[in-house]
Structure formats: C-alpha cells, structure tokens
Structure 1
Amino acid sequence: MKNNINLKDISFKDFFFFNKLLTPVFITIIFWVAIAVIIVSGLSIILSSLTLFKYNASMGMIAFFGGIFTIIGGLVSTRIVFEIICVLFNINRNIEKLASESTDTKEAINNNTDNQ
C-alpha cells in the first residue's frame, strides 16, 4: 500500500474532522513492531521450553512446539489482519476518487447547460 499522505499537508481541520486518514501512514510501522513482538515472544517460549525439559520432557516438547506455533501462526495471522486493514483503506481511497470524479462530472454538465 502506497503512503501518499504527506503529514505537512494536513491541517487542523483535516485532523479534527477526519477529512484525511493518518492510519495508512503508520500501518507499516505498526506491522513491523507487531512482527518483532511475535518473534521475540516465540523465541522466549522456545528458550523457556529448554529449561522445562529438565523437569518434564513432555511439557518441554509442548512448550517448544507452542513457541514454533506462536511464531508461525502469529506471523501469518498478523499479515492477514494488516492486509485486511490495507484493503479497507484502499476501498476508502477508491470511493473518494469516485466521489470526486462524479462531482467534477456534475460540475462540467452544469457548466455546459448554463452556457447553452
């Protein structure tokens, strides 16, 4: 998703009345932070499972595979959620384009009828 919004172009009116969306700008940063948290969490589960092996081998195996599942499942589910968010913002952007095009078309039609 292309981040076409320049933060310098946003006025107080745009900010307080939600005329321009800021979330598409920050979505990439939030995505990478979420990925880092998932990987660190999964690795900590895997490392803690190694100490758990000393006391109970079956629980250590469950924790080890739980850590792997946390990493794989977390990465896939995070990607899906953020893709859905991006799709929603793309739909919004396309609707805004259609609305502005229809407004321009109506103005052109009104100008032509007024001139005749």
Structure 2
Amino acid sequence: MNNKIKFSDLTIKDFLFFNRMITPTFITIVYWIALFCITITSLAMVLGSFALFAYSFSAGLFTFFTGIITFVAGFISARIGLELICVLFNINHNIQKLANEKTDSETQE
C-alpha cells in the first residue's frame, strides 16, 4: 500500500462518487492510534492490578495477566483487522485493472 494519494489531484467528483479510494491512506493513521489506545489500556490494567493486590491477590493476578494478554492480542488483532481492509482494497484495485484491460482490448478489436 505504497500508493500515496496526492490531495491536490483529488477532485470533488472523485470524493463524492468514489472514483478514488482515500481510505488506504488513513489506515496507517488508524493503526497507530489503535496501537496507542491498546498500549494505554493494557498498561492501565497492569498498573491497576497492583492496587488490587492489596484487596485480593487472585483478582490482582487475574488483572495483571489480563492486561498482558490484552496487549498481545490487541496488537495482533489490530494488525490482522487492518490488513484485511488493505486486502479488500487490493482486490478492488486488481478488479478495476482487469475491467480496464478488458474494455481496452474490446475497443481495439
């Protein structure tokens, strides 16, 4: 997904009628925001577990390991989810190329 969209080339018609996809450029931004939120949440869970140890050892231990699992599973699921969106856009791009090639070959005949 190294295709950067130049916003100077983007017209209102492209924006309103979906002639060009702008979502792939925002996926990277969404990915970094998601990683930041996952990190903050899991860090809060791990640090909050130390406060729970004073009341209940098992609850603190459970929250500590839940925070670690949230960190790992969150990073993996965010990556997989956003990669699936990228795959959908790649499929769309390839289908458009095939359709353009077919119409080009029909016009040459």
TM-score (norm 2): 0.95
Flag the structure with larger Rg. 1
Shift, 1:100, TM fit:
1.1
| Aligned residue pairs, count | 109
Structure 1 unaligned spans of 5+: 110-116
Aligned to 1:76: 76
Identity of counterpart residues, as a percentage? Answer: 49
2:66 paired residue number: 66
In 1: Cα distance, 2:66 partner to 2:48 partner: 11
The corresponding residue for 2:35 is 35
User: Normalization by structure 1: what TM-score?
Assistant: 0.90
C-alpha RMSD of matched pairs (Å): 0.9
Deviation at 1:60, TM superposition (A): 0.2
Runs of 4+ with >2 A deviation: none
| Cα distance in 2 for residues equivalent to 1:99 and 1:4 | 22
**Separation in structure 2 between the aligned mates of residue 81 and residue 89 of structure 1, nearest angstrom:** 13
Deviations 1:14-50 (A, max 9, x none): 1011111110111111111101100110000000001
How is 1:1-116 mapped onto 2 (pairs within 5 angstroms)? 1-109=1-109
Displacement after TM superposition at 1:4 (Å) = 3.5
Letter aligned with residue 60 of structure 1? G
**1-structure distance, mates of 2:23, 2:14:** 13
2: CA distance, partners of 1:10 / 1:102: 26
Give the secondary structure class of the aligned counterpart of 1:9: coil
- Give the gaps of 5 or more residues in structure 2: none
